[in-house]
Amino acid sequence: MRQLPLPHPGTPDSRSPGRYLWWVARGQLPTVSGGVAFGIIWMVAQSVMPAIIGRAIDQGIADENLDRLWLWALVLLGVGAVQAVAGIFRHRFAVANWLIAAYRTVQVVSRHAVRLGATLPRKVSTGEVVSIGSSDLAHVGNSIEVMGRAAGAVVSFFVVAAILLSSSVTLGLVVLIGVPALLLLLGPLLKPLQKRNMAQREMMGELNTLASDIVGGLRVLRGIGGEEVFHRRYVEESQRVRAAGVQVARLQSVLDALQIFLPGVFVVVVVWLGARFAVQGSITPGELVAFYGYSAFLMIPLRTGTEVANKLIRGLVAGRRICRVLSVEPEVRDVESPRQVSTRGELVDVRSGLRVQPGRLTAVVAEVPEESAAIADRLGRFAEGPALLDGVSLSALDREFVRRAILVSDSAATLFSGNLRDELNVRGTATEEELYAALATASAEDVLETLDNGLDAEVEERGRSFSGGQRQRLVLARALAADPDILVLVEPTSAVDAHTEARIADRLRLHREGRTTVVTTASPLMLDRVDEVALVQDGEVVAVGSHRDLLDDPRYRRVVARGEDE
């Protein structure tokens, strides 16, 4: 069995849902082959049992031959043992196939999400990604897991047909023609079922996105009294999803009913024909008993066939969503021959004209916060520049080097669930003293004091047990603990009070002394402590200087005066 997660999941074929499922199957060919082999043995062993029982009746009981009866009884016992062992291994391979396919899907989607970086939330909704993790990977796993039983059903069908042909050409032809005909009768239901499944999945993705937005902004909604409005929206959307689910269930119920009814009718026909042939003397009593056994057995390959079709439809619907995510290309691409630069060089945003001198603390002020945030994205190579480091475009550098050298902590940064120590030490290189120093710079010592286990405390999902200001300070501490050569902070003190902000500003300057740091902010308390301030208007730097010098500029004063008044 393979160890999970896989060392490398491979490069998926995302050109179509069918190609993706085929890529998944090829990637686990040994376990799929094992599942198919044991699936065939398991079902073929079951398919020959009625023939063995028939022989025992004809040669042992009818002929009153005890030796032949014992012989066929031992053969039946051996075949039953083979079926039992094959069933155990078939099930093990089925579980392994499901797990490998599901985990592989998780890995390729997660790896692609990391590769997309900041592109992912811009191109793909949260609900769509959540749906992949919550249901789509299970359907991909089901579509691979069912292959073993599918192969067993096909082979056993031909084995049964051959046995019946040897006893009665009529019965053999009825099976050979009747079983495919029954599957064709169910075919017209499969395409509408696929469309309804797809529509429901799309609605579920939208509902998940809406739920994520509501949960994420619950505090804001309560502040403006908007809970009831969004509650109604969620109720309406959930009812749409429910109605779509009912439409899927209606068609699915018809399909499930036909899976029982049509094979039942077919079995009645086979048994009736067998009974007539037995009365006419065309077949022996043992063969008649065997026909009864086959009439029950044929239900298995028939239902397996429709189950395979159903699971493949769901797998293709899931594969379509996965391919949609995998087809998104990052806005920033790697280069084949990256250049080498020094992180002690000047950092330049060409589009705005911002020039960040190495080893200094630089602030970027913009009347429109989105403009300074866009500059931060370009400086971190989360968006196309052009941006230069040491005179070389960031797009010409290895992306891994850029991620290690330049850390951007934006205003949307959040905390993840898990151990606080691991949460703060994301690069795994900080000592405990360095973690405490980062917490002190972020003025987050009081947050640590409220936790029973200190750094070993567990952080809840998205850090929801902390207040907005506490989360922001912990996020700042996490960025400082990473100790990058170049640190870009987007509005790092927007959720803290003035006294805390003043402490952070003083400590940040000392903590980052001698290293390049960029802060986007309009707070006078922070601006008064930086080395240089750049004023941005309409996406371009229009003035550069110290905070006190720029106060003489009415354009600058208009942006920061409100903060001074407060």
The reply to whether 364 and 312 lie within a common domain is no
As a whole number of Å, the end-to-end CA separation of the chain is: 65
Tens digits of residue pLDDT in 86-95: 999 999 999 9
**392 within some domain:** yes
pLDDT at 563: 44
pTM exceeds 0.75, yes or no: no
The reply to whether 198 and 70 lie within a common domain is yes
Q: Look at residues 273, 292, 326 and tell me which one is the last residue of a structural domain.
A: 326
Residue whose token pair is 């500029």: 553
Contact between 6 and 102 (Cβ < 8 Å): no
Taking the C-alpha atoms of residue 332 and residue 334, their distance in angstroms, rounded to an integer, is 7
**438 within some domain:** no
Taking the C-alpha atoms of residue 86 and residue 80, their distance in angstroms, rounded to an integer, is 10
* Helices of type H across 430-467: 432-441, 445-449
**561 within some domain:** yes
The reply to whether 356 and 495 lie within a common domain is yes
Taking the C-alpha atoms of residue 463 and residue 470, their distance in angstroms, rounded to an integer, is 9
User: For the domain that residue 368 is a member of, what is the CATH number?
Assistant: 3.40.50.300
Q: CA distances (Å), 58 to each of 55, 280, 291, 508, in order?
A: 5, 17, 14, 94
The reply to whether 49 and 105 lie within a common domain is yes
The reply to whether 307 and 371 lie within a common domain is no
Tens digits of residue pLDDT in 455-491: 888 888 777 778 888 888 999 999 999 999 999 999 9
**209 within some domain:** yes
Q: Look at residues 326, 358, 379 and tell me which one is the last residue of a structural domain.
A: 326
Taking the C-alpha atoms of residue 340 and residue 337, their distance in angstroms, rounded to an integer, is 10
pLDDT at 565: 43
DSSP for 247-292? HHHHHHHHHHHHHHHHHHHHHHHHHHHHHHHHHHTSS-HHHHHHHH
pLDDT at 257: 78
Tens digits of residue pLDDT in 442-465: 999 988 888 888 888 888 877 777
Query: Is a pLDDT exceeding 60 seen at residue 222?
Result: no
**62 within some domain:** yes
Query: Is a pLDDT exceeding 60 seen at residue 216?
Result: no
The reply to whether 358 and 281 lie within a common domain is no
Q: Pull the structure tokens for residue 133.
A: 């993790």
**149 within some domain:** yes
User: Which residues are 361's β-sheet partners?
Assistant: 517
The reply to whether 304 and 393 lie within a common domain is no
**340 within some domain:** no
The reply to whether 321 and 358 lie within a common domain is no
pLDDT at 509: 92
User: Which residues are 356's β-sheet partners?
Assistant: 347
The reply to whether 322 and 351 lie within a common domain is no
**428 within some domain:** no
Tens digits of residue pLDDT in 359-379: 999 999 998 888 999 999 899
Residue-range definition of the domain harbouring residue 204: 17-326
Query: Is a pLDDT exceeding 50 seen at residue 221?
Result: no
The reply to whether 357 and 312 lie within a common domain is no
The reply to whether 196 and 317 lie within a common domain is yes
In single-letter form, the type of residue at position 230 comes to F
User: For the domain that residue 253 is a member of, what is the CATH number?
Assistant: 1.20.1560.10
Q: Which of 395-404, 544-553, 554-563 is predicted with the least confidence, judged by mean pLDDT?
A: 554-563
How many domains does the chain contain in total?
A: 2
The reply to whether 119 and 218 lie within a common domain is yes
Taking the C-alpha atoms of residue 462 and residue 479, their distance in angstroms, rounded to an integer, is 16
